[in-house]
Copies of this chain bind each other. A is one copy, B any other.
Amino acid sequence: MTDSQPMAAFRLHIAKKGLRHTKQREEILSALFSSKKHVTAEELFDILRSKVAGIGYATVQRNLNLLRECGLAEEVKIGNQKARYEPKRGKEHHDHLICLKCGRFIEVNDPRLEKLQDGLAKANGFAPLRHKLEIYGTCAKCA
């Protein structure tokens, strides 16, 4: 069973920090990267219960935070809803079109947008680190 790319990165991060490798961590990472949509901790927890007997909700939450810290997961938070997580591969970036009717996330990326944002920041003496663009509206299926 050869490690996937993200799994290797996770192991490396864990080793560097003097943390320990556990079955739970392995399964949480695997489940996140297998998920086809933006999942909540709870949804991930429900998926994992059938794979890892006795796994706890707190462990899922904790490790989603850990994955976020090492750049393998990203959090998407809409208002006061529960946070959703998506796997992050490399340095790729995308923004979201979020349908207010069905809740679907459409992922988009436009280099012109990114460039404009950088220019806007620098014009204000601002050093940008990251950004979040969310466009809310109605998707094609719900129109």
With a CB–CB cut-off of 8 A, which chain B residues contact A126? 97, 99, 106, 135, 137-140
Give chain B residues whose Cβ lies under 8 Å from the Cβ of A140.
Answer: 124-126
A62 close to chain B: CB less than 8 A: no
- A125 contact from B124, B129, B135, B139, Cβ within 8 A: B139
Are A137 and B121 closer than 8 Å at their CB atoms?
Answer: yes
Q: Which of A10-18, A19-27, A31-39, A107-115 forms part of the interface with chain B?
A: A107-115
A117 CB contacts on chain B under 8 angstroms: 113, 133, 135
| Smallest CB gap from A112: residue in B | B116
CB proximity of A123 to chain B, nearest CB, Å: 8
- Residue A131 interfacial (CB < 8 Å): yes
The 5 closest A-B CB pairs, nearest first, are: A125-B140, A128-B137, A131-B135, A129-B137, A127-B138
Q: Can you list 13 residue pairs at the A/B interface with Cβ under 8 Å?
A: A77-B80, A97-B128, A99-B126, A106-B126, A108-B120, A110-B120, A112-B116, A113-B117, A124-B139, A128-B135, A130-B135, A131-B133, A133-B133
